[in-house]
Chains A and B, each alone.
Chain A
Amino acid sequence: SITSSKAVVVADPDDDLTREVAFYDQALEAAVLGRERIKKEGGVFQRPDDYFAEMIKTDDHMAKIRQRLLDENASIQASERAKAQRDLKKFGKKVQTEKRLEREKAKADALDKIQALKKKRQGNDNTTKADDDFDVALASDDDEMKAYKTAGKGGVNQNNKRSAPSSAESRGKRVKKDQKFGFGGKKRHGKSNTADSSADVSGFSVKRNKSTSFKSGHKAAKGGAKGAKGGAKQRPGKSRRQSGPSRH
């Protein structure tokens, strides 16, 4: 074989990286020189790609090596993704708390303003209610008033939700729920009768009341469930009723 002794090795103590780099450089130089010499003497240097012969390491072994490299790569990528997720979450949380504090502060300031105005009003005029003069006295395009108006419980605007794409069903459902549980206005006496609702006779139909089939006392047929009433308009279930008239 050909030997070449050009390179000088740097004197390292235990520094692995520089030492290996020095060995690599030495061997590379030797390889280059060796290739020239072999080509000059007419020998064959590199094996062609279709030359299959027994290798020093078996194919199984090389497969193990390859698998190990792939696993390493996969684990690195997984850990990077997890790290990115964690950072994103931290950032999002920070932004959320900042916004919340901002809104609460604005709300508190607005309330202070209202109190101040109330005091002023009470000093001057005892007959008018503070509620009626609310909108007139306080400028409603003030930043704090805007925040106060949009802020719900905890400073979060309850209508301002990050949501999935809304379908007709969810929109109607949301609207209904807001009307029932949302904010703004009295909801407490929704099921109590008012003058209008007691005078409303649209739910009564003489024909229906007069029909005798399937009244109480008539034995129901076997398996005659709700769907067997016939003639009477089928009333939708509770959830469908609650989700509002927008459901098809």
Chain B
Amino acid sequence: MSTVFKAQKSRKDKADGVVEKSTEDKSVFRNKQRVLLLSSRGITFRHRHLLTDLGDLLPHTKKDAKLDSKSKLHIINELAELNNCNNCIFFEVRKRQDLYMWLSKTPNGPSVKFHIQNIHTMEELKMTGNCLKGSRHILSFDKNFESTPHWMLMKELFTQVFGIPKTARRIKPFVDHVISFSIVDNRVWFRNYQITEKPLEHRSATDTTDLTLVEIGPRFVMNPIRVFDGSFGGQTAFENPEFVSPNVARSNIKNAKAGRYKSRMDAIAKKDEKLKGAEMPEDPLSENNVFA
């Protein structure tokens, strides 16, 4: 009952032009998504800033305390239940270096684990845009998301997690910015731009519209690892064959370095052997033998 009341009240308070009459039938889909933002222990400053940036961008989120365990992730489902959330973004930090992001629909929906790279937070001075805190955004997806089922699943997940419902509490009425997801090199690139309307006098000949975009917000690259059937566990629905775990990547680099030394030592040993094999018996006519 309380949710119905809240829904009615929020509809009245909204500055949106769209008004859903409460007398209409209940088949109107009410998008109620709430996202739980979590991280594990051992998080570094950059990852923490990224988490807070996401929290600022998405007003339908709720931040929670750090999770102690890295193995028993199923307790996140219960935490989400407690907080009335049906989505979750979980930052898992390993070795204080590698950031893994879990996106899941908490009760029993699918979940995806990504490896996050190339993090630039909103603090960076080269990103000059700004937007209202809590304004809703336009989500922009690349056409490549329609190509294979696992991308389609991820697109749906992004829509539900990153899409702000109209009935969220802390939203502002205007649409300020656009968030774009693109697929390049089998990874998902996240960008956040502010939309500005250019006045007539600043437009150049090559502009097609009067809108310009200025980059605001965090930018990162998501490398999908696995898609699970259940939330934080369950059967693997999709596994990315091209994924190289960061540990493996680091060890490859170290082995390559070690390999150089090893190959040099081998070459020296071979040379010694070759020289030994090339020794001939002493010639009776050599200088040593003739001139004693």
Q: Which of B12-20, B98-106, B246-254, B262-270 contacts A (4 or more CB under 8 A)?
A: B12-20
What distance in Å separates the Cβ of B204 from its nearest Cβ neighbour in chain A? 15
**B interface footprint on A14-40 (CB within 8 Å = 1, 0 otherwise):** 000001001110111111101100100
What distance in Å separates the Cβ of B227 from its nearest Cβ neighbour in chain A? 20
B220 at the interface (CB under 8 A from A): no
The tally of residues in B whose CB lies under 8 Å from a CB in A reads 53
Residues 112 to 151 of chain B near chain A (Cβ within 8 Å): 122-123, 125, 128, 130-146
Q: Kindly identify which residue among A3, A28, A42, A53 contacts B209, using a CB–CB cutoff of 8 Å.
A: A28
**B interface footprint on A41-63 (CB within 8 Å = 1, 0 otherwise):** 11111110001011111000110
Q: In chain A, what residue has the closest Cβ to B127? A: A65
CB contacts (< 8 Å) of B193 on chain A: these are: 24, 27, 31
- Check A47 against B176 for contact (C-beta < 8 Å): yes
- Check A24 against B139 for contact (C-beta < 8 Å): no
Q: Kindly identify which residue among A9, A29, A32, A56 contacts B184, using a CB–CB cutoff of 8 Å.
A: A9
A5 at the interface (CB under 8 A from B): yes
CB contacts (< 8 Å) of A32 on chain B: these are: 209, 211
- Check A35 against B211 for contact (C-beta < 8 Å): yes
Given known contacts A31-B178, A56-B56, is B18 in contact with A43 (CB within 8 Å)? yes
- Check B184 against A24 for contact (C-beta < 8 Å): no
- Check A27 against B178 for contact (C-beta < 8 Å): yes
Which residue of B15, B155, B163, B184 has the most chain A CB atoms within 10 A of its CB atom? B184
- Check B128 against A55 for contact (C-beta < 8 Å): no
B185 at the interface (CB under 8 A from A): yes
CB contacts (< 8 Å) of A7 on chain B: these are: 142-143
Q: Which of B39-47, B167-175, B236-244 contacts A (4 or more CB under 8 A)?
A: B167-175
A158 at the interface (CB under 8 A from B): no
What distance in Å separates the Cβ of A110 from its nearest Cβ neighbour in chain B? 63
Q: Kindly identify which residue among A5, A51, A53, A56 contacts B141, using a CB–CB cutoff of 8 Å.
A: A5
- Check B178 against A56 for contact (C-beta < 8 Å): no
Complex Cα–Cα for A235 and B146 (A): 104
- Check A44 against B140 for contact (C-beta < 8 Å): no
Q: Kindly identify which residue among B15, B57, B159, B175 contacts A45, using a CB–CB cutoff of 8 Å.
A: B175
Q: Kindly identify which residue among A30, A56, A57 contacts B138, using a CB–CB cutoff of 8 Å.
A: A30
What are 10 A-to-B residue pairs whose CB atoms are below 8 Å?
A: A5-B141, A6-B143, A22-B184, A26-B142, A27-B178, A31-B211, A42-B17, A46-B174, A56-B216, A57-B216
- Chain B contact residues, CB within 8 Å of chain A: 15-18, 56-57, 122-123, 125, 128, 130-146, 155, 159, 162-164, 172-176, 178, 180, 182-185, 189, 191, 193, 195, 197, 209, 211, 213, 216-217
Known: A6-B143, A31-B211, A35-B175. 13 other contacts (CB 8 A): A4-B138, A5-B142, A9-B142, A27-B193, A27-B213, A28-B213, A44-B15, A44-B173, A44-B174, A53-B172, A55-B131, A56-B131, A61-B123
